[in-house]
Amino acid sequence: MNKIELLAPAGDMEKLKIAFLYGADAVYCAGKRFGLRANANNFTLEELKKAVLFAHERNKKLYVTVNIIFHEKELEGLDSYLKQLDEINVDAIIASDIVVIKKVKKLGLNLEVHVSTQASILNSESALFYKELGVSRLVLAREANLKDIKEIKEKTNLELECFIHGAMCTSFSGRCVMSNYCTLRDANRGGCAQICRWTFQAGHNKEIFSMTPKDLNLIEYIKDLINIGVNSFKVEGRMRGIYYIATVIYVYRKIIEEIDKETLTEGKINYYLDILNRCANRDSTSQFLNGLPTEKEQYFLGRQELSNQDFLGLVLDYDEEKHIVTLEHRNYFKKGDVVEFFGPNLDPYTYKIEEIYDENDKLIEVSNHPKALIKLKVDIRLEKYDMMRIKMFDKKDYL
Amino acid sequence: MMERQFLIVVTNEEILKLKVKKINFLFPVKDFSVGFLNTYKMENIDRMDSYLYMNRILDCEGIKKLEEELKKINKNIKGICFTDLGVIQIVKKLGLSLELIYMQSHNTTNASSINYYLDYVDSLLISTDITKKEMISILNQAKKPLVVPFFSLAEALYSRRTLLKNYQKHFNLLENQEELLIEKGTKKEFLAVENEFGTVLYAKKFIDYRDIEHENILYSFLNPMHLSLKELEKILNKEEISIDKDTGFLYQETYYQLKEEDHE
């Protein structure tokens, strides 16, 4: 099997570390300017520098989005920003505006350029247009189906990156300015107010509706996508939390490994699918991969988002002599609960909570204070950044 | 100042009766356009100096079909106004001498990008998402004459999804390929037009950009959907008309860093 890249989102340094530790080969993020998540925390140049070092020390990669559509005034500072990204050895930038692609060449930078999904590439001829501009990778439109992807690969031999998981736009990405019309927030410069998820009335019909797509989830198609030559599997979600990133990256890493070892079974796919569905806050489907989405791949009545409270604690430390783990509390749990630890080097481990101690070693019955330090006695060795969650599924039930 | 030339989308047959001088007609082509209920088969477009309007983002099947169709293109066709950059490759591959006008509604928002695109095309449509000041600055710097919006329905969303069909199916409503959508909070209105290749939502109010004047304008662009011939004549003559219109973003700038109240 060719080297397959698992590409994770990161809205800040903690998420970046979690993504790499849980199995991402590369992470994409944005600096303080020129990214399409203008209101995420994002990274200062100093943080980007640290992020590159963190990635390269682990033989992994860091990509930076420079993917807004530029107005005249944003062009100021673009040249120096690109030079800075080049100097700190960012592995690639993700761009959609032709001015960014051309500037990288004109300035003689070593930066690789990946064309963003905002460019709506759905056919081999538009892919060839970008190839002639000298880009090294295409992030295809999320509307591409298996046939399109296969043909684009065959006719361009470019590296292809496909979204495999996360939220979808109602429109072709980059082809919506509803936010501009309704709120004056420019969608193509990072201010999207997600108007497609608001409610509409159609003509004289009484039924109000939204146009919210369900999320994308291609877990069942990873093998097909590998076979047709997709090089990088991208997870959406720079605004998501660490539990979501850890869970999704962990699952796809396992899936890719199992495909490589030829041990992936339908039962295992169902197990991982249940885990993914549990940590998502919307239902998910394969969207365009096998045809046009119907009314079943969409929500009509406002946001149908569930709050997930499965994430119970983040491991901060483990005392190997005393077998005591120190956790940072995330959601309510109590004595007697059956939970599960999982981590980058830890297959899900079932654990019944017998005793809970607070940070002063006082015995307590429940843990219910956000970010409180909690101690538990756990016999297996845990590592920093392992996580504790509600136990919902048991892998052996699927085998 | 040169006399203004118009590029008008033929949204219905009536438009072809326009008697105003300096008009170039732009025909939405069947299978290659979205946002129009009235489209034309390429072989039936026989008017001299016509432009083809192909604003669909094409998948692999679509681009192959386009290549086949363009092999049979009539001599009366002056050029293609298109959205998918693959069209440039196909026209080059077939060695056709057609005028190419790039029309992507949202990514032609600065002069540098526009000048780079102009290395590959003869002209392009400036985005409606920018201010008059930005538009004039672009016109001052562009290395070739550009197409500017004049009086038009402006595209606010283009989806590959059949949003109307899905909505009508979900609520068991009669199929209708055109609907007025009202966003409940802001009361903003959008006209949704759908075909098998997707849905386009236009801002319901026509954008009135008639006061953009500049010597670097190739064409003034109009998508006159639902306008009568009489109304259209008045518009072309810059007369006042009483229809729902505004100046879009010409005099109001968009922003993207949230203000305090947006965080609430």
ipTM confidence:
0.95
> Could you tell me if A48 and A105 lie in one domain?
yes
Last residue of a domain, which of A262, A292, A322? A292
Q: Cα distance from B164 to chain A (closest Cα, Å)?
A: 9
Q: How many domains does chain A have?
A: 2
Last residue of a domain, which of A241, A263, A292? A292
Would you say residue A303 has pLDDT above 60?
no
Pairwise CA distance, residues A137 & A172, whole Å: 19
Nearest to A211 among B57, B89, B163 (CB): B163
> Could you tell me if A234 and A267 lie in one domain?
yes
> Could you tell me if A393 and A249 lie in one domain?
no
Residues 6+ apart with CB under 8 A from B64: none
Q: Quick one: pLDDT band at residue A304, thresholds 50, 70, 90?
A: low
Looking at chain B, the whole-number percentage of residues with pLDDT higher than 90 is 92
> Could you tell me if A38 and A128 lie in one domain?
yes
In chain B, whose CA is at the least distance from the CA of A99? B113
Tokens of A380: 């297996």
> Could you tell me if A108 and A138 lie in one domain?
yes
Task: Tell me the three-class secondary structure of chain A, residue by residue.
Answer: CCCCEEEEECCCHHHHHHHHHCCCCEEEEEECCCCCCCCCCCECHHHHHHHHHHHHHCCCEEEEEECCCCCHHHHCCHHHHHHHHHHCCCCEEEECCHHHHHHHHHCCCCCEEEECHHHCCCCHHHHHHHHHCCCCEEECCCCCCHHHHHHHHHHHCCEEEEEEEECCCCCCCCCECHHHHHHCECHHHCCCCCHHHCCEEECCCCCEECCEECEEECHHHHHHHHHCCCCEEEECCCCCCHHHHHHHHHHHHHHHHHHHCCCCCHHHHHHHHHHHHHHCCCCEECCCCCCCCCHHHEECCCCCCCCCCCEEEEEEEEECCCCEEEEEECCCEECCCEEEEEECCEEEEEEECCCEEECCCCEECEECCCCCEEEEECCCCCCCCCEEEECCCCHHHHC
Is A325 within a domain? yes
Instruction: Indicate the CATH number of B6-154+206-254 among 3.40.1000, 3.40.50, 3.20.20, 2.60.40.
Output: 3.20.20
Is A206 within a domain? no
Is A76 within a domain? yes
C-beta atoms surrounding B7 within 10 Å = 25
> Could you tell me if A285 and A332 lie in one domain?
no
Q: Quick one: pLDDT band at residue A83, thresholds 50, 70, 90?
A: very high
> Could you tell me if A26 and A151 lie in one domain?
yes
CATH number of the domain to which A122 belongs = 3.20.20.380
> Could you tell me if A364 and A393 lie in one domain?
yes
- In the DSSP assignment, the letter for residue B255 is B
> Could you tell me if A267 and A379 lie in one domain?
no
Cα angle for residues B139, A109, A115 (degrees, 5° grid) = 65
Name the residue range of residue A72's domain. 5-168+214-292
Q: Quick: pLDDT tens for B215-247.
A: 999 999 999 999 999 999 999 998 999 999 999
Tokens of A244: 């979501």
Pairwise CA distance, residues A63 & A113, whole Å: 9
User: Across residues B56-72, what is the average pLDDT?
Assistant: 97
Rounded to two decimals, the pTM is: 0.95
Q: Measured between CB atoms, does A304 come within 8 Å of chain B?
A: no
In chain A, whose CA is at the least distance from the CA of B106? A175
Q: Quick: pLDDT tens for A349-374.
A: 999 999 999 999 999 999 999 999 99
> Could you tell me if A102 and A11 lie in one domain?
yes
CATH number of the domain to which A326 belongs = 2.40.30.10
Nearest to A184 among B61, B254, B257 (CB): B254
> Could you tell me if A84 and A14 lie in one domain?
yes
Q: Quick one: pLDDT band at residue B261, thresholds 50, 70, 90?
A: very low
Tokens of A72: 């005249």
Q: Cα distance from B126 to chain A (closest Cα, Å)?
A: 12
- Spell out which residues of chain A touch residue B189, defining contact as CB-CB under 8 Å: none
- Spell out which residues of chain A touch residue B159, defining contact as CB-CB under 8 Å: 170-172, 175-176, 211
